Amino acid sequence: MEHKIIDKLAWIELKNKSILSTKSYGKDKYYIPGGKRESGETDEQALIREISEELSVTIDPKTLHYIGTFEAQAHGHAEGILVKMTCYSGEYSGELKTNSEIEEMKWLHYSDKDKISEVDQIIFDSLHENNLLD
């Protein structure tokens, strides 16, 4: 069976062993902020654009740090449609505030795994194992 892959970038912003997560209007799960790459965009360009659109802040490209790439069944999609999430951390300037399709922004802990998508659960596990998320 051919798997369809949704190519996404995610920004890992940690504070006090919690992670910044967002919920879009009409969605039932929180997601690590980020989004889909547009044609021809690099990881850096896509991530900076998405975070600016969603959270009104500017990520400093010089501070981007690759964390990992994670794959899982895409939440809310047909079986066999996978999401590939390429994750980076990076410093930002500006004030975090919801924008565009984002309804809510929340700092989640490892115990909030029931509130997030499948791929984010894998990322939470990885961060928890590395003692970055409680």
- Pick the more confident residue, 3 or 66: 66
Percentage of the residues of the chain whose pLDDT score is greater than 90:
95
Enter the tokens of residue 35. Answer: 């989004």
Q: What is the pLDDT of residues 59-76, one digit of tens each?
A: 999 999 999 999 999 988
pLDDT at 2 over 70: no
The span from the CA of 30 to the CA of 73, in Å, is: 15
The span from the CA of 132 to the CA of 134, in Å, is: 7
Q: What is the pLDDT of residues 8-24, one digit of tens each?
A: 999 999 999 999 999 99
The span from the CA of 24 to the CA of 31, in Å, is: 8
Give me the residue label for tokens 């969605």: 27
Percentage of the residues of the chain whose pLDDT score is greater than 70:
99
